Amino acid sequence: MAYAPTAPHLDFAAPPSPARLVVLVSGSGTNLQALIDACADPAYGATIVAVGADRDGIAGLERAAKAGIPTYVHRVKDFPERTEWDAALTGTTAAYAPDLVVTAGFMKILGGGFMRRFEGRIINTHPALLPSFPGAHGVRDALAYGVKVTGCTVHLVDDGVDTGPIIAQGVVEVTDADHEDGGDALHERIKSVERTLLVDAVGRLAREGHSVHGRRVLPLTPHQ
């Protein structure tokens, strides 16, 4: 059964500082590193309490270990059913009592159990200006379409693929040279903007709280 939001309007008060973050990774962990660096400043208002992964032996886990952050791994292939993997991931993540969950290059679709447990508090990035070019090949698809600008999006995760409410977006210009190298240089420029955008968005939500009104993510004010 597909996950469905329980309410069109959700408020999330700013948690006690520092906010607790769990970050999920599948690869090199460059976005994770950006968050680790940001959390080193007490004024940022957040700390990473655990890093989870869907595979072992990846650089993202090494970055966490170097920073002294607890890690855990749940591989889909180790579970008879996908729902069992989702339950294990949900349970381990919940044990760290996160205020926010950040999927930083996490390449698995989260299941309904995870979505219900952390509804409105899961943050993801995408290398395109959503709702254009969702899915695993946002950079390639944008180039193929011939756009003059693309960029990146930080958004809340819902039950669709890159369809959740948008928190922030950054614009990156496409050059003629990008078509010559297949988009590699463009993707690197997008990643650079993405890291800054993610750090800013996570910090704001951690320090100020947020309110979800349908497709809008707004600051949570004392009047709400």
Q: What positions carry a catalytic annotation?
A: 126
Give the residue among 128, 131, 125 at the shortest CA–CA distance from 102: 125
Token readout for 142 is: 């944008």
Tell me the DSSP string of 3-60: ---S-SEEEEPPPSSSEEEEEEESS--HHHHHHHHHHTSGGG-EEEEEEEESSSS-HH
Token readout for 197 is: 């955008």
